[in-house]
């Protein structure tokens, strides 16, 4: 494993940022998680996680253009970096490796 480690929630947020691409900002991620995973998460938790991911170098952020909604405030758009992507990939692979080691269940009877 690499030196950095991702928590479950961090991984979820990072994945969502990857999915949303140019539209990856705090509120959108909250909504995306709700829609795809069916899990209600806290906006502040998502923000804090995003900043932590940025500290670790897995995402980078820039301010988007102003819009008419949200009181004219700009969005902080997060994009997944190469390091973030490879982290996600490593995690997925190591999980698959482990998965393969579980003796597969067989359906017996009936």
Partner 1 sequence: MKGKIPLRFLEWFCPPALYEGIEGDLLEAYEEDVKDRGKRKATLRLGLNVLKFLRPGIVLRNRFKMELINTIMVGNYIKVASRNIVKRKLYSFINAFGLSIAIAFCTLIYLFVQDEKSFDQFHENKGQIYQLLTSNFDQDKFEKKTPYPYKSNPYMPGKLGDVVLDELAEVQYMTRFNNYNVGVMRYSDKNFTQRFASVDTGFFKMFTFKILSGDARKPLRNISDAVLTKEVAQKYFGDEDPVGKTFTIDSDGSIASFTVTAIIETPPANSSISYEMLVLMDAIPWFVRSRENWGNSSFPTFVQLQSGASPSQLKVHLDTIMNKYLGKYKAGWRDWLTPPEDVEPRQFTFQNLSELHMAKDIYWDKVSDPMYSWILSGIAILILALACINYISLALTTSASRRIEVGIRKVVGAQKKQIAWQFTFESLILALISMVIGLGLVVVFLPYFNDFTSKAIELTFVSMLPVVGIAFTVAVLVGLIAGSYPAIFLSGFLPALVLKGRFTSRLQAGFTKPLVVFQFFLSACMIICSVIMYRQMHFITTKDLGFDQEQVIAIPTQTGWNPKANQTLTAFRNELKGDPAVASIAGVTSSFNKGWSRQSYKINGENKEAFIYGVDTDYIPLLNITLKEGRNFDGRASDSLGVIVNEALVKDMKWEDPLNEHLNWHEDTVGLGAPIIGVMKDYNFMSLEHAVEPMLISIDNGYLMTILAKLTPGDTPEKIEHLRTTWLALFPDRPFEYTFVDEDVAAQYDTHTRWSKIMGLSTAFAILIACLGLFGLSGINAVNRTKEIGIRKVMGAKLSSIFILLNKQYVIYASLAFVLAVPLSWYAMNRWLDLFKFAITIGWEIFAFSILAGLLIAMLTVSYHAIKAALINPADTLKHE
72 touches 66 (CB < 8 A): yes
DSSP letter for each residue of the chain? --SS---HHHHHHHHHHHHHGGG--HHHHHHHHHHHT-----HHHHHHHHHHHHHHTSEEEEE----SSGGGPPPEEEEE-HHHHHHHHHHHHHHHHHHHHSPPP-----
- C-alpha neighbours within 13 Å on the C-beta side of residue 96: 6
Choice from 52, 79, 81, 91 touching partner 1 (CB under 8 A): 52
Choice from 14, 20, 30, 80 touching partner 1 (CB under 8 A): 30
What is the closest distance, in whole angstroms, from the C-beta atom of residue 50 to partner 1 in the complex?
9
Choice from 8, 22, 38, 42 touching partner 1 (CB under 8 A): 42
Q: Is residue 60 at the binding interface for partner 1, with CB under 8 A as the rule?
A: no
Q: Residues touching partner 1: how many (CB under 8 A)? A: 21
Q: Is residue 36 at the binding interface for partner 1, with CB under 8 A as the rule?
A: no
Stretch that binds partner 1, among 16-24, 39-47, 92-100, 102-110 (CB under 8 A): 39-47
Question: Which residues bind to partner 1, rule: CB under 8 A?
Answer: 25-27, 30, 42-45, 47-48, 51-52, 61, 63, 69-71, 73-76
């Amino acid at each position: 494993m690499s030196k950095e480690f991702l928590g479950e929630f961090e991984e979820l947020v990072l994945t969502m940022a990857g999915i949303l691409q140019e539209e990856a900002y705090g509120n959108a991620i909250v909504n995306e998680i709700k829609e795809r995973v069916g899990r209600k998460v806290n906006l502040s938790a998502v923000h804090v996680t995003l900043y932590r991911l940025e500290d670790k170098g897995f995402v980078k952020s820039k301010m988007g253009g102003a819009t008419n909604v949200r009181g004219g405030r700009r969005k902080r758009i997060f994009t997944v970096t190469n390091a973030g992507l490879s982290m996600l990939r490593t995690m997925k692979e190591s999980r698959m490796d482990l998965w393969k080691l579980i003796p597969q269940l067989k359906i017996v009877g009936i």
